[in-house]
Structure 1
Amino acid sequence: MTLPHSSTFPHHVAAGCLHVSRVDSGLSDEQWYQLPEQWNPFFRSDQELNRSIDASGVHHIELAETLHKCPHFPPELQELLLKLALAPFAKLFRHHWIELEFTRSQDDADVNALIRVYLLPDDKDRSLINRSNKTLRRHWNSLLSKLDFSASAWKGKSNGDRSFQPALMQPPDKDGAESSLLQLFNTIPSPKPNPEYLLDSNDRDYCRSLLNCDIPGLKTQLFLYQREAAASMFQRETQPLQCIDPRLCYVVDQHEDPWFFDCITGEVLKDGRSYEGVSGGILAEEMGSGKTLICLALIAATRQQPAYRPEIYTAPAIIRPKLGSLADMAAAAGSMASVPWRSYFSREQCGDQEYTNCLGKIDQNPGWYLMPRPAPKRVSRQPAAPEQSDKLYLSCASLVIVPTNLLEQWKDEITKHTPYLRTLVLTKARVPTPIPNALSLLQYDIILVSMSRFERLIENRIKDRHGSWVLLSPLGQVHFKRIIIDEGHALGHSTLAKKSNLLLVVEHLQTSARWVVTGTPSKGLYGVDGSCTGRNELSDDQERKDTEHIGSIATHYLNARPWANKVLEDGDTTADWRIYVMQTKNNNEVQNHRRHSILKSTLNSLIIRHPKSELSRLLPKITERTVYIDGSYQDIMSLNLFAAHIILNSVQSQRVDQDYFFHPKQRKYLDELVSNERQASFFGGNFFTASDIQKAVLTAEEFLQKGDVVISKEDDCLIREAIAFGKTAEANKIREVSSRCFEVPIYVEEFPGKEYTGVLSSWAVDGKEGDRMCTISPLVVVLQRYVRPWLSSPESLEIVFNSGKFASYGAKARNKAMGGVPEIIQCGEAPSSIAFTEKDDKVYKDVSKQKKARSGTLEWADVNDTFEKDEEIAEPLAKFSLVSTASAKLSYLIDQITKYKDAEKILVFYETENVGWSIAGCLEILHIPHLIYAKNLKAERRAQYVATFNETSKFRVMLMDLKQAAFGLNMNSASRIYFVNPVLNPQVEAQAIGRARRIGQSKDVTVETLVLRGTLEELVVERKKKMTQEEHRRIKSIMDDKPFYEWFQNARILPLPDVAADDGPGQMAPLAVPVPLFGRGSGQIIHPDQDLLAKGERHSSDRECAVPCSDTGGIGSSFGRKRPLSMVTDAAADDAADREPKKPAKGVRFA
């Protein structure tokens, strides 16, 4: 007779079966055939647990009534099985952890038998049975690993398919189980907040105000998705959801009854276990979607709501020295209970009338509580008095920590959207102002802190006498309503053993909610349109890193349970994210499902974001195109020098040994060579000197004459072609000029005073006279400054020209530019027998000394500047124009910038500083105001540039290092973007475009990528279309990609344009329209700070006046460069160079 499960073991889980063969059982044949062929429960010599409780509350242990009626397994055979085949699990049976039933197999009774195993869940009968025995727990886990969970085995058939994992409650979605982390991130459901779920009436009102955008003090109308995101943030702060322990898999037993199973620890639960969700999370809306505005809306909507006192801490009774007034006692009682009193008495609620007395009483009676100090880590024989509890004040303020370069942007956003928020700004200054005391901090709505200043608080950590760390800062005496870390994805790099200073300081602060604001929580997580294609898939290594970063943020910063469980906490177990989530996929369906389930539930519970498809319609239209440009004669010559460099090395080294560029030991030198060649696609005339080329050619010719090495016909043709080209390059005068002065040669026409003897030959860098003259931008700057006093006086100019002073001054300036001996710094050892020796890859460092600038006012005018704005420019100067440059890309950029600068603002992204300064040099002589967002600028200076570029109309062009296109930068005033070189990684390119293509952009965005035809850049464009994200993550440099590696190995010399060797203008890239070089701003000496927005300044014409932020730090006296000053300057110009970074060396790779 087989009893139904509900009557046999109603409190157990019908898990699975153990297979026992006749051989393994240890029974004789006679004993084997005495075994029953129907299910019989094992007999207990002790008594079965009876869970009835009498009136006295005592549990009775009696024989269960149903078991008396059930046929039992023969006791003597049972004991033999428990001693032999079931020996490892006998203790589990005797201690009531399991129940057993036995039968011989229905399809192979002569050989096999089956034992049903019923598991007692860990959350049942804990008062009767001790489940903490470690030895029994090891046997328990061993038993689970051997169970056959198949239905056929449970029915008594031993030859069916076996299953070593329990059946899931819901069969896994095969497509879903294979979803990558990137796919899970992009399929996070859009937030749908519902105020009716909130229990508190005030919380419901705040949530409705966010959803309806009815927020006092918010001047900007929010989009629907922004309202949903802000309301969801508030809902998660005030009433986090209850989440089932993600470690548990929801499975069913053999009778379709559900139970929960942790396949790592072997824990079996009948009712499951839940945790309260995180108060906070990750706001991960798309780039440019207004995450800052969402946070400000949340802060503004709840600015009157104080933080709630944690339930574990009690507020002691307030003891007053004398009887308090009714107003004081009422205010104190409300503050201690976190009642939003201010909202009832504020001007927003009461119209024009404001109850200042009531508000004053609320300020005088803030809420607070006492938080005990941590218990001593070591017990001392001499008992000491306990540490005094810390007093923490309940605040309405939000603590916002932002990267230093985004601090000004946050201040600007606060002024623009929520000017009435009381804001305290703490930034890293040369002499930081002390943080106000705790009571003063309660008066603010936002405490805005730069990340560098916040991290310095680590210096204020000390250990108390019990060995616990204590933060000595007013910030540690306030319980903030929330903490928001902008661009906080760096928190993912912290581990339990190595926490960042940022995280260590955060751990000392008391906050009700914690938020991370970032569009990309980890490097490989970003928004994609629609379903993920193969090109968007991440490598296993990158996905593992991203998973680890998400787990680190959840564990160490957000304190998400169970991942943040501590070892010393009672009633729960620790959970290691690496064990549960980061194990590689295998054939274990339950483990794979658990891993997928944990990732999905974690992302959904922590991250707030809308799919990119929902936001695309709100983003400005973007037009992207690749512009293919034919290189100039000088461009092709520069690139061919690199090809000749590789060819001569390959042939002479016979592509073997360490002398070969592509030998593994020469990888560093090869990477330098590749980087320089990529730079040469813009301009590379400064990489090889004539003497270097001559020496390489002679070495190659000597190699051919000796004939010691037999080479193939193909190599013979290659080396002879390289030699012939080397001779051509060596004799080229324009290339010689660029290699001597480290500048891009340009051609001008209608040079002032050209009709006077010696003028052209004095100013021309090649010494030639003609209708068009070859020069460089620093010399044009010198010229503009020299003649500025006579811009509107043709008579005075004629005197200067005729006197010979103009020609003499030009000769001196030219000789200074061309004749200065640069300091030589070796860039690393090159192979001894390569065609171009170590000197080929010199780094030239400009050692011209720069004098310090004057400090003082922002406007610094030239004392000799007598030119009036309403005067006409003298005719000899008005016709002076730029007609061409040696770089085809530079000429194209000049055409584009001059064409669109009046109607649109422009971003130009470059990859090396030499390129940036070359572009800036031409913009300077064309008197086009511009800014350079370079990596050598301090963060405060970069933030000042961004604010100036966005808020003023003067600066039309921003030159930006591609590596500095940082997360979070908002430059939506620009609508045209140019990439000087094609960007291989599409995510880097998207980050750069995201600086301008943002919600709120009023114009369509145009993006152009410049590609030099017939060069490596064409391969970059082609590979970018085909490479997957896995390939992008795998390669550290382009030489790690086989097609690029082979392209360099098979370098070939390109045919030069059909231009005569002495035709200088013909070797240039002409401008579409000549650009005048004299205007009202030409030659004016400008202070580095002129026209920049000062700290805290905003243009009233562009933005309404607002309550200024309180700033306890400053930008200080660190200056960066808006425009490059020439390396050839007069004394006054040298004085303007104070506090500016040196102009980078020409011909060097900047990492």
Structure 2
Amino acid sequence: MSKDRILEQVVEITNDIDNFIPYATLFVTNWPGLMCVGQDANLKNGDGWKWVDFPFSEIDGISPIAIGLRLLIRKAYCRLTYKVFDQLPGIMIIRVYLLPSDSQYSEIMNSYRQNFFRFKMTVNWLEKRCMLMLENLVTLADFSDEAFNINSAKDLIYYTSNHKIMLINVMADTMDNLNNIDPETLKYHIDRLVNRKSFEPKPKSGVINSTKQPSILSRLNKIYQRVESPKINLDNLFEDDDKLNIYDKINNNEIKGFKSELYNFQKRSVLKMFERESVQNYKLMPNIIEIKNNLCASGNYYFDIKTLTPVLKSPLYLPPRGGILAENMGLGKTCICLALICLSKFEVSETPNSCRDTSSTKRGKVNSLFDTCVNFITQNSIPWKEYYEDFPPHITKQLETTMGYFEKSETSANNRKTRTFVSKQDQLLTYKKYFLSSTTLIVLPDNLFHQWKVEIFKHVEKDYLKLLEIPTLKQNHLLGEFNIRKLLNNDIVLISISVFSKQFEISNSAIRYIYWKRLIIDEGHSMNSKTSRAVLLTKDLMYERMWVISGTPTSGLTNLHIENELQEYSVQKNFDPKQDLIKLGSMVANFFKVEPWSLNKKLWMESIVKPFEKNEFNIDIQLSKLLDQFIVKHTIKDVESDIKLPTLHHKPIFLKPSFYDKLSINLFVSVLATNAVTSQRKDVDFMFHPSNKSDLRRLVTNLQKATFYWTGFSINDIENLLNICVYSLRENNDKYSERDNKLLNNSIFISKLALSNMRWRSVSTVHEMGYYVSYLPTPIVESYSVVNYINGTSVYGYPHLISIQKFYYKNRTIKTVAELKEKLTKQSSEFWKSYWSNIKGSKKNNKSITNRPLSNKEEYKEFELSDVQVISQIPTWVETFDPVLEESILYGKKPFKLKKNKHESNINYKRMIKTANIGSVMRDALITGTLSTKLNYLTMRLLENQSRGIKSIVFYEFENSAYYLTEFMDLLGMNYLMYSPYIKVSDRANNLAQFDRWEPENNEGEGISLIMDLKLASHGLTIIAATHVFFINPVWNQSVEAQAIKRSHRIGQMNEVFVETLILENTLEEEMYKMRSDVKDLDGVELIDHTKIKDYILTFPYLKMYVDQSYDQEYSGLNVPTDVDGDIGFTNSKLNNKYDIELKNARGEYNPETRTRNWTLPLFTKQNLNKLAMNDNKSIKRRFDDIEDLENEEANKTANGSINGSSISKTSSLLDKLRSKRKKKVRFKL
């Protein structure tokens, strides 16, 4: 078409006001007299409105707004008409009309805009200029119908007396450019447009400082938090009787087969999910809004807020028959899904409209009327199973064996050896058969498999739903191509994510040939990747309805609500907003398969992510509208109006560190202080230098571990530290400040204190928890103790005590000392040989002689047998070292003497055996304490809960703490189960099942504990069986802590939940807790990056060992704080009627004045006897009535010879030599 013809058509189009949409009204003043007067507009009613025309010549002094309006007119975006009344000549009223961007003339207009009125500018520049003017126009316009209908001076006077108007000065004094409009301002004025409001400036309080725009993170958080509770469209439900019947069933808790009662908010969620699945309506694209406008012939029009222009036909998208069930953790998402499945049990997936032409029955032989009816029922997805009982058997049998199906055309390229373009002629058209189904395929994490089974059992009537379980690859054969019929015969196919992902590699897997009624992905954040096998597989599958079930579909949608007696707050997980949006787009395109995003891989990035990243004015509205079509989620306020969870009590427990706790922490402080002084706090030698961040992180992490227990410093490490400090003071004393000198002197004192302590030297070499045990016979002490402490008390490791317990239970009938020594010599020799071999064979002690799955995870060098000699090589200065005196001098305190037991020595207490039965002597042995305050407190509290029949959860962050905790629990024979990464997923599920099913009344009234890795506490687990929760250390990230608490404090919990966080006083932990409480949103700050934490560490806070008068004894005793009144004790038990040996059991005496409980822990009890008798691979005790099995085991070993045979290795010879050379101060038995 020629340019003249284009111009001629544009003139015709723009001169017809009916081609435009009435948009808004402007009020202007100081209109230049030289401008064209304007001709009568081509209006049918001839009411005197004239076109606003601009002269082609430029006029100096015209405002940017007037210039912008002229550009819009010349580029045919709008037309303006005006009126001036004689009574008010100073005000011109302008009506603005916009041309729809999708009008029938859009092609001509696009050509016109690219070729006319270019003004030597690029098309792109002109488009951006027009867009900027349209933005300014939104902020200046009056959108009320009343303003648009002003036709007289009287109308104008009345209107201006009742409304504010923006009076635009056409001949402005300044030559400023058009304003850049910030998104919040545009949003405010677009809202005026939608509601047809008169002009009103945006309130100043809401004006955003251009220098401080809201972050992308805060904006996305705000959008997520605005997601409203489900609102049910009753018109959809009441349109037919069937839907109305379902509405009544849900509201009245009458869902067939579902035996639980739903809370009101759960009912709303089920209703919304049902509505999403049953009613599918096209929705406006997120950038389109509907404007009700009485000035239009149709009464309304659509407006594109991306281009700020009207559209006649709105672009639409079809939301999925499903969405994201994103209820907060603990609100019963699994229960809601099961209710939906029961509700729609008999519904069958229907042939997609796009496949109906290919699904018509092929002509062949004429079927019988019976077969025709059966085929009609199955092909048209008629829910015949709802009437199963009404049909005779031969009909139901035929219906069950006849599978409805359709064929879908698929194109594939011919095999080629080169990567050339594939033309349509080269493509092959094939048809793939898909079978209709009434089955819901549920894909879930492996560790949640058992939980779903438990929830089904809990909420669904027995045998109402047919369930097929595929938890592991062992059941992979069930997904073979020939098992389609078997799969379709179930209501639910429960499949683990590991098995599901594997099907991506299997082209003929049965799940690829079924048109599933529903696909549910539990913990659906696994579907937000683009390239995972599970996601790629879902792209190939066909399913009618789909749901992502997760409180955390993306990181940003994780919002945890925490409440306790002191405060109520929400914890918003820190996340990368851009990546969060990309993940959301992956779900929309790959899982929900929503067009147009599923057809265009780049569209989500171009239409959502990049505009949001650039903070384009309309993107927040777009995204918010889009999320509303996918997410089903209640606000906390609406949930709380329906349900009130039992009270959550969460309190910190501040514990005074033991002597050994202080020593361990002070050693870390000494290392840091010495480094700071000797490096002069600069350059790469300084630990806090940026280049040393990884080393510092590891050291601070180890310092956190030391608040529980630490043996990571070797004797050689501390000797080197001592030498460095002494050398630095001697050579550079004058260079250091008084504070630095004191730091070095403190480091010297702490180093000498450690090196002079035989218990520290011993446990730091063999890396065992030190257990203090009293009242064992002398031969036992000499054969097993690691090192003595005071008269009657010695120190042992866990393996040593386990071996002693086994020895006692197997040899309880020994009568003479000679026989005792003979038995001990044999068993202890075998024990020590195995013990040293195991320690030497594993650098990190990953597998001890008890085959325990955990390790202490401390960083220490590989153990060498020569290290045993170093233990006894006591420095000569120890003889004159007085730790109390030296510390008093350090702190300027008056010297004092400790109340020292006069028998405190390393001479073993002589306890001779005078009775004929060793059992009556050895049973008096007591565990009197350990080296760890936290270990004592936590174990005694768990023991207290066990005796009261209470279930407890312990969350650990560092493996070493769980390692030592489970050791102590094993020694006492306590009930516990592990849930850690070192246990197979299937075993974790089994442990969780055992924990859930544990009934105290069936287990002698005893409770049980679950020891769980904190990293595994955020994966949708429900553990409402537990009412007491313990955190071994304060958790820096509050969102992680909140998720862990939600394992127990969630819907279904009927009892109050008590949470305790253990904190060692005056340590880094206490500072962490304070800082964390001050700042609820840590923004992903690492512990060592937090300024106040770093400042605290740099003060080098030594803990006083003696001068604070807190020293009582070297170890931590068993007197612990408690809120439970009264004495607690386990009933004493007779071992065997024949020998009439009664085992003493643990007892805790309560002191009401101090609110503490002092525990008496016998080394030999029925509980640890049962523990020893259990299967080595299980973490839970079995019940035994006698110990004959242990005796038989011992007899078999004796008959078959020793474990290692009669040969003596070179290692054994070396150990014998070392044993002969040991000093009396240390009791290492080899």
Q: TM-score, normalised by structure 2?
A: 0.72
SS at the partner of 2:1161?
Answer: strand
Aligned ranges for residues 804-883 of structure 1 at < 5 Å? 804-806=822-824, 809-810=827-828, 813=831, 817=835, 822=840, 842-844=860-862, 874-883=919-928
Whole-angstrom CA distance in 1 between matches of 2:220 and 2:107:
44
Aligned position for 1:121: 100
Whole-angstrom CA distance in 2 between matches of 1:1133 and 1:190:
71
Equivalent pair of 1:404/1:452 in contact (CA under 8 Å): yes
Q: What letter corresponds to residue 488 of structure 1 in structure 2?
A: G
Aligned position for 2:1099: 1050
In structure 2, the CA distance between the partners of 1:355 and 1:228, relative to structure 1 (3 Å rule), is farther
Aligned position for 1:983: 1035
Aligned position for 1:487: 523
Whole-angstrom CA distance in 2 between matches of 1:389 and 1:606:
32
Aligned position for 1:429: 473
In structure 2, the CA distance between the partners of 1:1061 and 1:1040, relative to structure 1 (3 Å rule), is closer
**Deviation (angstroms), 1:1064:** 6.5
**Is 1:522 aligned to residue 554 of structure 2?**
yes
Aligned position for 1:697: 722
Equivalent pair of 1:758/1:807 in contact (CA under 8 Å): no
In structure 2, the CA distance between the partners of 1:565 and 1:779, relative to structure 1 (3 Å rule), is same
Aligned position for 1:566: 600
Whole-angstrom CA distance in 1 between matches of 2:339 and 2:1202:
48
Aligned position for 2:673: 647
User: What is the CA deviation profile of residues 576-605 of structure 1, one whole-angstrom value per residue up to 9, with x for unaligned ones?
Assistant: 211343433xxxxxx54x333234323332
Whole-angstrom CA distance in 1 between matches of 2:1201 and 2:536:
50
Q: Which moved more, 1:171-180 or 1:812-821?
A: 171-180
**Deviation (angstroms), 1:618:** 3.9
User: What is the CA deviation profile of residues 820-879 of structure 1, one whole-angstrom value per residue up to 9, with x for unaligned ones?
Assistant: 76479799xxxxxxxxxxx995355899xxxxxxxxxxxxxxxxxxxxxxxx99433433
Whole-angstrom CA distance in 1 between matches of 2:563 and 2:169:
50
What root-mean-square deviation, in Å, do the aligned CA atoms of Structure 1 and Structure 2 show? Answer: 4.7
Equivalent pair of 1:41/1:102 in contact (CA under 8 Å): no
User: What is the CA deviation profile of residues 312-360 of structure 1, one whole-angstrom value per residue up to 9, with x for unaligned ones?
Assistant: 22153324754333332222212222221110224xxx6xxx6433322
Aligned position for 1:1100: none
In structure 2, the CA distance between the partners of 1:117 and 1:649, relative to structure 1 (3 Å rule), is same
In structure 2, the CA distance between the partners of 1:530 and 1:769, relative to structure 1 (3 Å rule), is closer
**Deviation (angstroms), 1:12:** 1.4
SS at the partner of 2:525?
Answer: helix
Equivalent pair of 1:933/1:958 in contact (CA under 8 Å): yes
Aligned position for 1:463: none
Whole-angstrom CA distance in 2 between matches of 1:840 and 1:950:
33
Which of the numbers 143, 149, 152 marks the counterpart of 2:130?
143
In structure 2, the CA distance between the partners of 1:1049 and 1:254, relative to structure 1 (3 Å rule), is farther
**Is 1:328 aligned to residue 328 of structure 2?**
no
**Deviation (angstroms), 1:665:** 1.3
Aligned position for 1:730: 755
**Is 1:901 aligned to residue 939 of structure 2?**
no
Which of the numbers 304, 316, 339 marks the counterpart of 2:382?
339
Which of the numbers 985, 996, 1019 marks the counterpart of 2:1048?
996
**Deviation (angstroms), 1:196:** 5.5
Whole-angstrom CA distance in 2 between matches of 1:672 and 1:843:
16
**Deviation (angstroms), 1:472:** 3.5
**Is 1:631 aligned to residue 649 of structure 2?**
no
Aligned position for 1:505: 537
Whole-angstrom CA distance in 2 between matches of 1:933 and 1:537:
25
Equivalent pair of 1:747/1:882 in contact (CA under 8 Å): yes
Q: Which moved more, 1:215-224 or 1:265-274?
A: 265-274
**Deviation (angstroms), 1:247:** 1.1
Aligned position for 1:926: 972
Whole-angstrom CA distance in 2 between matches of 1:135 and 1:409:
63
Aligned ranges for residues 14-413 of structure 1 at < 5 Å? 34-36=34-36, 38-40=37-39, 77-78=55-56, 98-99=78-79, 118-126=97-105, 129=108, 135=114, 139-140=126-127, 142-147=129-134, 148-149=136-137, 150-151=140-141, 157-159=170-172, 167=190, 168-170=193-195, 180-193=219-232, 197-198=236-237, 199=239, 201-248=241-288, 260-265=302-307, 267-270=309-312, 272-314=314-356, 316-319=359-362, 322-346=365-389, 355-374=392-411, 383=425, 386-413=428-455
Q: What letter corresponds to residue 598 of structure 1 in structure 2?
A: Q
Aligned ranges for residues 751-790 of structure 1 at < 5 Å? 751=776, 754=777, 757-767=778-788, 770-790=791-811
Q: Which moved more, 1:397-406 or 1:809-818?
A: 809-818
SS at the partner of 1:1082?
Answer: helix
In structure 2, the CA distance between the partners of 1:17 and 1:71, relative to structure 1 (3 Å rule), is closer
**Deviation (angstroms), 1:632:** 0.7
Equivalent pair of 1:113/1:158 in contact (CA under 8 Å): no
In structure 2, the CA distance between the partners of 1:778 and 1:296, relative to structure 1 (3 Å rule), is same
In structure 2, the CA distance between the partners of 1:1053 and 1:823, relative to structure 1 (3 Å rule), is farther
Whole-angstrom CA distance in 2 between matches of 1:912 and 1:549:
31
In structure 2, the CA distance between the partners of 1:1054 and 1:670, relative to structure 1 (3 Å rule), is same
Q: Which moved more, 1:374-383 or 1:320-329?
A: 374-383
User: What is the CA deviation profile of residues 148-205 of structure 1, one whole-angstrom value per residue up to 9, with x for unaligned ones?
Assistant: 4124788774549977666532488988998854455445333344665234544443
**Is 1:673 aligned to residue 652 of structure 2?**
no
Whole-angstrom CA distance in 2 between matches of 1:819 and 1:308:
67
Q: What letter corresponds to residue 587 of structure 2 in structure 1?
A: I
| Structure with the higher fraction of residues in helix conformation | 2
**Deviation (angstroms), 1:11:** 3.4
In structure 2, the CA distance between the partners of 1:645 and 1:1007, relative to structure 1 (3 Å rule), is same
Equivalent pair of 2:714/2:860 in contact (CA under 8 Å): no
**Deviation (angstroms), 1:411:** 2.2
Whole-angstrom CA distance in 2 between matches of 1:1015 and 1:615:
40
**Is 1:603 aligned to residue 624 of structure 2?**
no
User: What is the CA deviation profile of residues 869-922 of structure 1, one whole-angstrom value per residue up to 9, with x for unaligned ones?
Assistant: xxx994334333322111001110121111111411111111111111100111
In structure 2, the CA distance between the partners of 1:825 and 1:703, relative to structure 1 (3 Å rule), is farther
Equivalent pair of 1:1059/1:1066 in contact (CA under 8 Å): no
**Deviation (angstroms), 1:93:** 6.6
**Deviation (angstroms), 1:961:** 1.0
Equivalent pair of 1:581/1:598 in contact (CA under 8 Å): no
User: What is the CA deviation profile of residues 1024-1067 of structure 1, one whole-angstrom value per residue up to 9, with x for unaligned ones?
Assistant: 211132xx2331x2001111111111212110146999996556
User: What is the CA deviation profile of residues 942-982 of structure 1, one whole-angstrom value per residue up to 9, with x for unaligned ones?
Assistant: 11211122123467111111111132112222111111101
In structure 2, the CA distance between the partners of 1:1089 and 1:1001, relative to structure 1 (3 Å rule), is farther
Equivalent pair of 2:444/2:523 in contact (CA under 8 Å): yes
Equivalent pair of 2:772/2:929 in contact (CA under 8 Å): yes
Equivalent pair of 2:659/2:1114 in contact (CA under 8 Å): no
Whole-angstrom CA distance in 2 between matches of 1:295 and 1:277:
19
The higher relative CO (CA closer than 8 Å, separation ≥ 6) is in 1
User: What is the CA deviation profile of residues 983-1011 of structure 1, one whole-angstrom value per residue up to 9, with x for unaligned ones?
Assistant: 12221111111112222223321111111
Whole-angstrom CA distance in 1 between matches of 2:332 and 2:490:
23
Whole-angstrom CA distance in 1 between matches of 2:958 and 2:107:
73
**Deviation (angstroms), 1:801:** 5.6
Whole-angstrom CA distance in 2 between matches of 1:990 and 1:534:
12
Whole-angstrom CA distance in 2 between matches of 1:128 and 1:254:
28
SS at the partner of 1:649?
Answer: helix
In structure 2, the CA distance between the partners of 1:770 and 1:562, relative to structure 1 (3 Å rule), is same
SS at the partner of 1:1023?
Answer: helix
Aligned position for 1:45: none
**Deviation (angstroms), 1:812:** 6.0
- Specify every segment of 5 or more residues in structure 2 that has no aligned partner in the other structure, as ranges: 1-12, 116-122, 142-164, 209-213, 415-419, 846-856, 866-916, 1121-1157, 1183-1196, 1205-1230
Whole-angstrom CA distance in 1 between matches of 2:1019 and 2:547:
17
SS at the partner of 1:901?
Answer: helix
SS at the partner of 1:448?
Answer: strand
Equivalent pair of 1:17/1:154 in contact (CA under 8 Å): no
Aligned position for 2:149: none
SS at the partner of 1:990?
Answer: helix
- Aligned pairs, how many? 988
Aligned position for 1:51: none
Q: TM-score, normalised by structure 1?
A: 0.76
Q: Which moved more, 1:615-624 or 1:936-945?
A: 615-624
Q: Which moved more, 1:706-715 or 1:337-346?
A: 706-715
Which of the numbers 1072, 1077, 1094 marks the counterpart of 2:1163?
1077
Q: What letter corresponds to residue 1056 of structure 1 in structure 2?
A: M
